[in-house]
Amino acid sequence: MIAVKKLVKRFGLKTVLRGVDFEVQPGEFVALLGPNGAGKTTFLRILASLSRPSLGEVKVAGFRLPNEAAAVRARLGVVSHLPLLYGDLTAEENLRFYARMYNITKMEPRITEVLEMVGLENRRHDLVRTFSRGMQQRLAIGRAVLHDPDVMLFDEPYTGLDQDASSMLDDVLKTVAAKGRTVVMTSHDLARAEELATRFDILSRGMITASASPTDLRRGNLLTFYKEALAG
Amino acid sequence: MAENVERTTKTHTADRGSRTGNFFKAVSAVVWKDLQAEFRSRELFSAMLVFSLLIILIFNFALELDIKTRQSVTAGVLWATFAFAGTLGLNRSMAIEKDRGCLDGLLLAPVDRSAIYFGKVISNLAFMLIVEIIVLPVYSILYNVNLFQAGLLLVILLGSIGYVGVGTLLSAMSVQTRTRDILLPILLFPVVIPVLLAAVKASSGYLTGAEFSEILLPLNLLIAYDIIFIAVAFMVFDNVVEE
């Protein structure tokens, strides 16, 4: 579903990604872990067609980036730590706007379905700026799944959420993943990554330095694996 | 490796056969979103309007002019007012997109990115024209000058289109920087000088009752500038908004 070959990204003289090879099979949930400044967000932005690779080959859902970016974007849902929502529009209006941008057929039933999925059906007519951070993040997930994408990218979705909001987000993420979607999530929260992901990749100094599945790890050993990968 | 990735099909999205239809749908979605959000908050519109009224009041008190001189400075005062208020609106319009990451949300949509540009141009133009519609009668009363002439209104429309066309492109560029508030006027005013010069010249011609042959040249310049810069913006917007 995602295939990246020898990806290099430079900003001026600074090289952020140094030949990343990365492959994700359909239905996999990959947690991309790494320290601050490792290049996780840059990597996700390239997969999302928001940034162009300097070198290398990137394919998402069978389409090459950046040449077939529009086709990739039609099959991609992105959630970041920013909500990507308009505070002066209601929850329903935000979804309606994005539904029109994605040219979604049967818009109204789909909006209702998504609002029910993220548990915001009773707040559909409220302005988004009145929402708590957790509610905004749930609506952001609703926005991202509105067009039923095959691939979902989550960039630090738990940033700024309290325990309750994080738990609710867990449930929504599990629902999203249960639909057989391919998910790539960056996170600093190892416990949550361990609970959700089917594979853990470590991105360090601009390269994937280690990869493991839950069966490769003994229970509760992701932290050790992570530390060893960073040290190595 | 990359060749093995299978192309997927969509279920909820419509067939992408009608690209023109999708383009106009996206343009109208952006316009609707901007107008709806502004109708609620009135942040952008009220700032532009108050700023415009303050400028013409300041000019009114600063330039104690006789009727004849008033007519000769009217075009300059009007366009200075529109240009300053327009910059305020352009800055705010793009800052709203950037602050909550909404610009990324727009760029993630599977539409031609020039649809986003045209949507923003139309909504920015609507805000600017509404402000101008309110400013013109106030100016007429304060300066005792009749501004309601079809020719002058056409010049204001053409000048506003050129100003907003370039301004929307440059605000999309400046909003990516830390110094966006000061960068936009620095980038915009040198580029938009031909529009302002032609607009002032044509407006002045209508206000002083000049021959149409004298007004024709600046009017043609305005039309040419509008077409050229909107065409350039259409071609480069995708590159401007991408990192």
Q: What is the SS3 assignment for B19-43? A: HHHHHHHHHHHHHHHHHHHHHHHCH
Closest in A82, A98, A100 to B100, CB measured: A82
Q: Is residue B15 part of a domain?
A: no
CATH 3.40.50.970 fits A1-75+153-232, yes or no: no
3-class secondary structure, A68: coil
Position B69 scores a pLDDT of 75
Mean pLDDT of B67-88: 87
Closest in B14, B33, B110 to A73, CB measured: B110
Instruction: Please say if the pLDDT value at position B82 is more than 80.
Output: yes
**Which part of chain A has CATH 3.40.50.300?**
1-75+153-232
Mean pLDDT of B96-108: 89
Partners of A155 in the beta sheet?
A186
Position A219 scores a pLDDT of 57
Q: Is residue B118 part of a domain?
A: yes
Specify whether the CB–CB gap between A181 and A2 falls below 8 A: no
> Which amino acid, one-letter code, is at A113?
E
3-class secondary structure, A26: coil
Nearest CA in chain B to A11: B243
Inter-chain touch B26–A88, beta carbons under 8 Å = no
Specify whether the CB–CB gap between A172 and A18 falls below 8 A: no
- B19-41 vs B113-143: helix crossing angle, rounded to 10: 40
Any CB–CB contact under 8 A between B14 and chain A?
A: yes
Instruction: Please say if the pLDDT value at position A164 is more than 60.
Output: yes
Q: How far apart are CA A30 and CA A194, in angstroms?
A: 10
Mind listing the pLDDT tens digit for each residue in B160-177? 999 999 999 999 999 888
Structural domain boundaries, residue B102: 23-241
Position B18 scores a pLDDT of 63
Q: Is residue B130 part of a domain?
A: yes
Nearest CA in chain A to B119: A101
Q: Is residue B10 part of a domain?
A: no
Any CB–CB contact under 8 A between B37 and chain A?
A: yes
pLDDT band, residue B2 (cuts 50/70/90): very low
Q: How far apart are CA B25 and CA A208, in angstroms?
A: 41
Q: How far apart are CA B10 and CA A62, in angstroms?
A: 13
pLDDT band, residue A12 (cuts 50/70/90): confident
Instruction: Please say if the pLDDT value at position A126 is more than 60.
Output: yes
How far does the CA of residue B8 sit from the closest CA of chain A (Å)?
6
Inter-chain touch B1–A147, beta carbons under 8 Å = no
Any CB–CB contact under 8 A between A101 and chain B?
A: yes
Q: Is residue B5 part of a domain?
A: no
Q: How far apart are CA B194 and CA A77, in angstroms?
A: 43
Q: Radius of gyration (Cα) for chain B, nearest Å?
A: 20
3-class secondary structure, A30: strand
Q: Nearest-5° angle of CA A23, CA A25, CA A26?
A: 140
Any CB–CB contact under 8 A between A102 and chain B?
A: yes
Q: Is residue B185 part of a domain?
A: yes
Residue A36 backbone class (left: φ over 0; alpha: ψ -120 to 50; beta: rest): beta
Which range, of B78-82, B157-161, B176-180, B181-185, averages the lowest pLDDT? B176-180
Any CB–CB contact under 8 A between A85 and chain B?
A: yes
Size of interface A-B (CB pairs under 8 A): 132
ipTM: 0.90
**In chain B, how many domains are there?**
1
Q: Mind giving me the DSSP string for chain B?
A: -GGGPPP---SSBPPTT-HHHHHHHHHHHHHHHHHHHHHHH-HHHHHHHHHHHHHHHHHHHH----HHHHHHHHHHHHHHHHHHHHHHHHHHHHHHHHHTTHHHHHHTSSS-HHHHHHHHHHHHHHHHHHHHHHHHHHHHHHHT-----HHHHHHHHHHHHHHHHHHHHHHHHHTTSTTHHHHHHHHHHHHHHHHHHHHHHHHHHHHTT--HHHHHHHHHHHHHHHHHHHHHHHHHHHHHH--
Closest CA to A181 of A43, A22, A2, A46: A2
Tokens of B148: 């309601």
Specify whether the CB–CB gap between A78 and B104 falls below 8 A: yes
Mean pLDDT of A99-125: 92
> How many other C-beta atoms are found inside a 10 Å radius of the C-beta of residue B207?
22
Mind listing the pLDDT tens digit for each residue in B121-141? 999 999 999 999 999 999 898
Q: Is residue B16 part of a domain?
A: no
How far does the CA of residue B109 sit from the closest CA of chain A (Å)?
6
- The mean pLDDT value of chain A amounts to 88
Burial label for A13, CB within 10 Å (0-12, 13-18, 19+), is: exposed
Closest CA to B184 of B203, B164, B204, B208: B164
Which residues between 174 and 213 in chain A have a beta carbon less than 8 angstroms from any beta carbon of chain B? none
Closest in B2, B14, B29 to A101, CB measured: B29
pLDDT higher at B119 or B11: B119
3-class secondary structure, A96: helix
